[in-house]
Amino acid sequence: MKIEHECPQCGAPVVLEETDRLLSCNFCRTKLSIQTRDFFRYYFPPAENIKEDIFFVPYWRFRGMHFCCITDRIKHGLLDKTIPAVESRSLQPSLGLRPQTLKPRFVQPTDKRVFLEPRLSFKESYILTEQKVSFEQVPVRKDLTLFESFDIPITETVIKQDVLFYESFIAETLSLLYAPVYMRDGIIYDAILKEPASDHPYDGTLDLQVAGKNLTALFLPTICPNCGRDMVAERDSCILACPHCSSLWATSPEGFTTTHFAVMRAAKSSADLVYLPFWRMKMSVRGVDLKSYADLVRFANLPKSIRKEWEESALYFWAPAFKVPPPTFLMLSKQLTLLQPDKNIDDNLTGIRVYPVNLPGTEAIESVKITIADMCARKKIFFPQLDSTGAERIECLLVYYPFIDTKNEFIQQDLRLGIQKNALKMGQRI
Binding-site ranges for Zn ion (CB under 5 A): 7, 9-10, 12, 25, 27-28, 30, 224, 226-227, 242, 244-245
How many CB atoms neighbour CB 232 within 10 A?
Answer: 15
When the beta carbons of 9 and 420 are compared against Zn ion, the nearer one is: 9
Q: In this structure, are residues 412 and 402 in contact, taking their beta carbons and an 8 Å threshold?
A: yes
When the beta carbons of 127 and 245 are compared against Zn ion, the nearer one is: 245
CA angle (409, 317, 307) in 5-degree steps:
105
Beta carbon of residue 259, minimum distance to Zn ion (angstroms, whole number)? 13
Burial class (CB in 10 A: 0-12, 13-18, 19+), 373: buried
When the beta carbons of 298 and 353 are compared against Zn ion, the nearer one is: 353
Beta carbon of residue 258, minimum distance to Zn ion (angstroms, whole number)? 10
Burial class (CB in 10 A: 0-12, 13-18, 19+), 248: buried
When the beta carbons of 65 and 349 are compared against Zn ion, the nearer one is: 349
Alpha carbon distances (Å) from 292 to 216, 299, 320, 338: 44, 11, 21, 12
DSSP SS3 for 237: coil
Beta-bridge partners for 276: 401
Beta carbon of residue 22, minimum distance to Zn ion (angstroms, whole number)? 13
> Which run of H or of E encompasses 125?
helix 122-132
Beta carbon of residue 222, minimum distance to Zn ion (angstroms, whole number)? 11
When the beta carbons of 258 and 284 are compared against Zn ion, the nearer one is: 258
Task: Please state, in angstroms and rounded to a whole number, the distance separating the CA atoms of residues 423 and 400.
Answer: 18
Beta carbon of residue 322, minimum distance to Zn ion (angstroms, whole number)? 22
Task: Please state, in angstroms and rounded to a whole number, the distance separating the CA atoms of residues 43 and 57.
Answer: 9
Q: Are strands 195-196 and 187-190 parallel, antiparallel or unpaired?
A: antiparallel
Beta carbon of residue 248, minimum distance to Zn ion (angstroms, whole number)? 10
Beta carbon of residue 403, minimum distance to Zn ion (angstroms, whole number)? 25
When the beta carbons of 247 and 328 are compared against Zn ion, the nearer one is: 247
When the beta carbons of 14 and 91 are compared against Zn ion, the nearer one is: 14
Helix axes 326-339, 361-375, angle to 10 degrees: 80
